[in-house]
Amino acid sequence: MKDINNLENKIVETEENMDPLLKSSKEVHPFSEEEEEDDEVLDLNKNQEEETILSHWPLLTALLILVVMLTLEFGFKFQLAFPLNLIIYAIAFLLAGYNVLGMAFRKARHFDFFNEFFLMSVATIGAFSIGSYSEGVAVMVFYSIGEWFQDAAVNKAKKSIKALLDIRPDQVTVLRNGSPVVVDPKKIVLDELIQVKSGEKVALDGILDSESAIFNTAALTGESKPDTKRKGEQVLAGMINLDKVSQIQVKSLFKDSKLSKILEMVQDATARKSQTQLFISRFAKIYTPIVFALALLVCFAPYFFVDTYNFQQWFYRALVFLVISCPCALVVSIPLGYFGGIGLASRNGILFKGSNFLDVMTKINTVIMDKTGTLTKGVFKVQEIVTGDIDQNELIRAASAIEINSTHPIAKAIVEYAADKAAGLKAENVEEISGHGLKGTVEGKVILAGNAKLLKKFNISYPAEIDALVDTIVVIAINDKYAGYITIADEIKEDAKQAIQQMHDLKIQTVMLSGDKQAVVDKVAKTLGIDEAFGDLLPEGKVEKVQGLKDAGNRIAFVGDGVNDAPVVALADAGIAMGGLGSDATIETADIVIQNDQPSKITTAIKIGKITSQIVWQNITIAMVVKVIVLILGAGGIANLWEAVIADVGVALLAILNAVRIQKMKL
């Protein structure tokens, strides 16, 4: 536990070091009710009202007024007289732009004038000042529609991520007044007794109150061999009960668990921006003041060079210049592209904790993986049956008949394998020889089933090569004579080989690190086609290997699931955790979580990162090219406000739709 506490301290230090980045990347959306000082995060626990078309009635009303007025003016050649037309357009303008105007005012109070909200407010109010009412309203309406699209897309991404997290256990059975009651884990208090059935995951940390129980601890220790706990020993959240119904006395509240911490971290995902987003934010802060200065030059500089200078004409051109120069197409569509990538990933069972990690995955050239729980299932299965002088069916029947009296997972693996072969067969006088195995009588024959030490104890000879086997084995003797052995091994995940092949197709080097014996590691690596494999590693050994590969210039993603993997997950360029059975410490430290534990999702995450990057750069290119062209045309008096609206807001809408399509893609 000392190592775990040290690791948790390291995680806290890492989070504190990240605070400046998180603080520097705060933003507020114009449709948000919060002040600009507030964080913009995914509040997944907050119950948000379902948005409907009717909830945006002010914007829809403004759009309807604009359409009616334009239809009268251009369709029927009928124009309302002043000041009636001004009043109607002003109402539409305020309905469409009250959020934008309010945000511009709040920023102006803090002397922040160089932002898209203030720029858009100046341009539209300026249009009203020279009588271009319809154009001023159109700019504000279409800009707000663009923001509406962004809101809808972001909310969809939030729901996808929340749905991904909601599949985690949310109830526990507690004993109250002697009766089992199913309650929310948050309602459990210290020292209460909870029940964990066979196959269930332990929800809270505590100590075992039952006499004994067997748990799958692979998620916490990285070891595939199940662990037998005795009364009074510690049981951690994340362990899986493999035995009978067990009782655990709770020693930590739900809010103090690592599972609760991961939910809090996910809420901050939107604050962790990609380098592209950070660059665009910095670019906009420099770009916007320059645009204001150029607009002033467009308006006033011609006075000194043009004999027929007309202030209203050049002021109009300056407004066109301001509208088209607004960086909303970039500021809106780029974050939305990354939201789309996060949403697509969540639909595929992958959680990115920030858009910056989408960019990181596009540069990965080496994937390092743990073995147990990552490439293998962490459960025992019969692999091979080797017999001496007896029939194979007779050996497995004898072994199953005696092993059925044990609750150990290795015994269960044999019984499950021989379910249809040993039906009705019973063992008598079964006794457990501690640390060795079982002894009993089956159909009048004395059966020994256990490790090699069991046969040595009874002076029974067996082939010497058995001692050199790397897999877990059960050696069988019948009537004091060696009969054969059964190998039991951790089963490789169905898609593990496919995952390695996919990585090789992407020209990515694959490496496996494990605490298991080198011989076991080599066998798995050969089966899967992994490039390099290292066994017999302690956690610090894994750190050394990862650091060595990083020092060689590789961009590394590390995939693991146990607490012993958390240090290397934190060290890698991209830390990936198996979230189904993975330890909370590793999930918390990781940048990316694969919720369904499938190794093939590693390449899915890489592909999503590349797709997102491609679409983001498409949007940047389209927006910049169109803006430069229309800026030149606007300054020359060729483009008017309507064309500026189409070029700016139209391009923004196209970019938004391009970004939204990420969530619709099938991989």
Any idea which residues carry the catalytic annotation?
A: 370
> Contact at 8 Å (CB) between 479 and 446?
yes
Q: For residue 119, what are the contacts with CB-CB under 8 A and spacing of at least 6?
A: 288, 291, 292, 322, 325, 326
| Residue 1 burial (10 A CB sphere; 0-12, 13-18, 19+) | exposed
> Contact at 8 Å (CB) between 542 and 575?
no
The one-letter code for the residue type at 42 is L
| Residue 473 burial (10 A CB sphere; 0-12, 13-18, 19+) | buried
Question: CA-CA distance, 567 to 558, in Å (whole number)?
Answer: 10
The token pair at 484 is 């054969």
The token pair at 227 is 């662990």
For 64, the 3-state DSSP assignment is: helix
The token pair at 430 is 């079964």
Q: For residue 626, what are the contacts with CB-CB under 8 A and spacing of at least 6?
A: 647, 651
Q: For residue 624, what are the contacts with CB-CB under 8 A and spacing of at least 6?
A: 330
CA dist list (Å): 466 to 414, 473, 474, 485: 18, 9, 10, 9
| Number of other residues whose CB lies within 10 A of the CB of residue 108 | 14
- Contacts of range 424-432, beta carbons closer than 8 Å, 24 or more positions apart: 425/397, 425/400, 425/401, 426/401, 427/401, 427/402, 430/402, 430/405, 432/406
Question: CA-CA distance, 101 to 118, in Å (whole number)?
Answer: 8
The one-letter code for the residue type at 259 is L
Question: CA-CA distance, 454 to 435, in Å (whole number)?
Answer: 8
Question: CA-CA distance, 368 to 329, in Å (whole number)?
Answer: 38
- H/E stretch holding 17 reads helix 2-24
368 closest CA partner among 603, 503, 529, 556? 556
Would you give the DSSP letter of residue 368?
Answer: E
561 closest CA partner among 538, 541, 534, 589? 589
- H/E stretch holding 68 reads helix 57-70
Task: Give the distance from CA 204 to its chain's centroid.
Answer: 23
Would you give the DSSP letter of residue 201?
Answer: B
CA dist list (Å): 287 to 140, 228, 230, 295, 317: 21, 64, 66, 12, 19
